[in-house]
Structure 1
Amino acid sequence: MLQCPDSVCSSVGKGDSLHHQVLSAFPLCPLTEEDLIQNPLFCKLLATLSQHVDRTGLTFQLRKELEKADKELRSQKLCWMHLESLHRLLQEMVQEHRCSQQHSTASAAEDKFYGTLEQCLLVARCARQLDPSSTLSQDQSLILGLSPEKVLNQMPPKQDVWKMKQKLPTELQKHLKKKLFYLLSYYQPEWENESEGLKCVKLSKLPVLIESERNRAESLTAKNRENAILLQRQTHSYLSELLECTQLLQTLVLDLRLKVQKDLDRKKIEYFEDKCEISIQKIRAIMLEVQLDTYTTDKIATHRKITDKLNTKLKALQMEKQALESKLASFEIYGKEFEILAEEYSRLQQEIATKSWALKEFAP
């Protein structure tokens, strides 16, 4: 298990101060104070690492080397940008001269100057393109058989180049002054109609204004970055609280739903019981109504008379039954012999009946 020395723990702080120190030391890490509280050993490890790394997670030695390399890179980039800017300005001067020739006629000296400048730029560009890089093999075939030395031989005469170089600073200064006036007009359009002297005075203050605007933009960018990190933490905390509230709300809704469902089921049962009782009472009422419609007073009197007659016949038949049963009991006294004679008697009776029927049928 990872452990932190007591000396380190005491040096980096305790409790809430330790958590705040870790969070401020690693602003790019999506950590919360709750994460640090749940993982105290990891919190102590981060507190120890904060003494050896910066806010971006780099060690101090690596940060120094990175700053040194960045400074060298900026120096090289600044040098390249100076040369590239000068080259582009010279190209712009040549292009503007060509465009101005379409609208007005320039002097021969001016045409000679810009022609020499354009030829020097073109030859220098071709020579740079033909110059083999150190990463290429020396036996690489030349383009069209040309070499940088052959291309440099196409430079204008030295006298023309010398005159062009003598005039170039003045023309370059005029061109830069014109571009600066354009920049001043773009930055502050209300200064466009000012005099040239006043524009020059305001141009001297323009770098300070632009630098202050740049610093202000950088400070706003850093503040926006800090606000974004703070917003991310607050969003994480808000989502965590919202999730807990949602879970609590779900629990409450479930409990209330079960309770309400129980009461609703009980009320439904009572409702159906009452509805069933009403239906039974309605059926009974309909049955009574049908009976009242079916059995009138006259029909009831007739039914009573029929019942009396049927009861009288029933009593007579019951008395006859009892008499026959008594006779049968008296016959059973004689036993099996009497039973055989009774059967023979019944058979003879049937034969007599059959022959009587036959005599009636065949009699003329």
Structure 2
Amino acid sequence: MSANADCGSVGPSLCKLDNLHQQVLASFPMCQMIQEDLTQNPRFSKLLAMLSQQVECHGLTLKLEKELEMAERDLQTQRLRWLCSESLHRLLREMVLEHCVRKHLYNVPTEDDMFYKTMEHNLLVGQCVMQLDLSDYFKQDSPPLLGLDAQQILDLASTQKDLLKTRQRLPRELEKHLLKKCFSLLSYYHPGEDEREGVKNMKLLRLSGQLDGKIKRVVCLKEKSYESAALLQQETCCYISELFGCIQILQSLILDHRLKAQKEIDKNKIEYFEAKCEIVIQKIRAEMMEIQLDTYTEDTISAHRKITEKLEAKLKASQGEKHAVDSMLSSFEFFGKEFEVLAEEYSRLRQEIDTKNWALKEFSYPTN
């Protein structure tokens, strides 16, 4: 009963630890951690679990995350306002440029020419005023650009009458231009044959929804790609750790097999070197035989044989003489020390005789 109770208590605790580790890994996806690291460091895993309640997965606190969201919303609003004004300004510039091109190709009514000239002039005035305002904002202590202020530029604007006419006509012209651009975008997005204007308008109304769906899909795919990148990084870390473990096991196996097979390898090497030495010796002998064959001809060999026979005959005669002298010496040694004294006296007398004979010969030569 106690064993079953222990097993039942251990099972839920392990499940809780696994859930805690999974929660920590999900809260910090960019950290290069695996579940084994958390298991080996339980205090560190508890610390990360406490931090996950106060910190987002990006590393920011909840308060800072809210402030960042508010700042991003404010930035998005400001960006939207700037985008609206910039888009309107670019549309007006496009209308002016199209009018300039059209004026060179076709005859344009005077009223249209006056409208676009007034619009171009006021756009230029507004751009200059904006540049002066920016220069005054960034350089408050310095003199204004070219010594001009915004009021001097505004005085160069068109008259109130021309401005009123332009403002009254501008929405219609702007609507036409926008409709033309929308139709061109529709023809690019849905290429096909020319259709009626009503059908185009219906497709144009549905185009914004389709584009929003495409944008949402792109954003969703980007988020999935980020999640996949984080998961891939985590799996890469696990793969690298497992790979290092496999490499260590392979290294240990290689060392063990190398020590066992080293004796056989050394034996094979010794046999190989012995065979190689034997081959080299046989090659040297073959070279020596080739040199002897090139050096000694048949005449040289026959002459050497005759010389050898004569030398052997002389050697035999010398050996016979040596044997006779040895026998005489052995017979002389038989007489003992007295014979040795007589032999020395005999050799001395022989030397004196030889000396006197030489002197006698010298004195007996006739003198000149």
**Amino acid of the residue matched to residue 87 of structure 1?**
H
Aligned residue for 1:156, secondary structure, equals coil
Q: Aligned partners of 1:276, 1:74: CA distance in 2, in Å?
A: 87
Which of residues 78, 86, 89 is equivalent to 2:91? 89
Q: Shift of the alpha carbon at 1:250?
A: 3.9
Aligned to 1:328: 336
1:48 to 37, 47, 50: 50
Q: Identify unmatched segments of 5+ residues in structure 1.
A: 1-9, 284-298, 333-338
Aligned to 2:290: none
Equivalent in the alignment of 2:6:
none
Partner of residue 239, structure 1 = 240
Deviations 1:308-348 (A, max 9, x none): 9968984x66654444223225669xxxxxx6x98667645
Change (3 A) 1:87 1:322: closer
SS at match of 2:105: coil
Structure 1 residues 152 and 263, CA, compared in 2 at 3 Å: closer, same or farther? Answer: same
| Counterpart residue identity of residue 265, structure 1 | D
* Equivalent in the alignment of 1:149: 151
2:352 aligns with 351
Work out the CA distance in 2 between the residues paired with 1:310 and 1:118: 142
Aligned to 2:210: 209
State whether structure 2 residue 29 is matched by structure 1 residue 21.
no
**In 2: Cα distance, 1:322 partner to 1:154 partner:** 158
Alpha-carbon shift at residue 212 of structure 1 (Å): 0.6
Whichever residue aligns with residue 328 of structure 1, its letter is: G
Contact 2:129/2:154 (<8 A) preserved: yes
Q: How much has 1:80 moved relative to structure 2? A: 1.8
Greater relative CO (CA pairs within 8 A, separation 6+): 2
User: Which whole-Å CA distance do the structure 1 matches of 2:359 and 2:350 have between them?
Assistant: 14
Change (3 A) 1:201 1:325: same
> Residue 64 of structure 1: CA displacement?
0.9
- Counting only pairs closer than 5 Å after superposition, residues 259-278 of structure 1 correspond to structure 2 as 259-270=260-271
The verdict on how the C-alpha distance between 1:62 and 1:359 changes in structure 2, with shifts beyond 3 A counting, is closer
Q: Distance in 2 between matches of 1:269 and 1:76?
A: 86
Alpha-carbon distance in structure 1 between the residues aligned to 2:319 and 2:148:
149
Q: 1:320 to 1:65 in 2, by over 3 A?
A: same
- What residue is the counterpart of 2:219 in the other structure? 218
Identity score, percent: 48
Judging changes above 3 Å, is the alpha-carbon distance between structure 1 residues 108 and 270 closer, same or farther for their aligned structure 2 residues? closer
Partner of residue 131, structure 2:
129
TM-score (ref. length: structure 2): 0.74
Aligned equivalents of 1:275 and 1:53: distance in 2? 75
Q: 1:92 to 1:346 in 2, by over 3 A?
A: closer
Structure 1 pair 275–235 and aligned structure 2 pair: CA distance change class (3 A): closer
Q: 1:311 to 1:41 in 2, by over 3 A?
A: farther
Q: Which moved more, 1:317-326 or 1:25-34?
A: 317-326
The Cα offsets for residues 143-190 of structure 1, whole Å up to 9 and x where unpaired, read as: 444332222222222222222222222221111111111111122113
Q: 1:359 to 1:90 in 2, by over 3 A?
A: closer
Aligned residues: 330
Offset at residue 248 of structure 1 (A): 3.3
Stretches of structure 2 that go unaligned for 5 or more consecutive residues are 1-11, 286-307
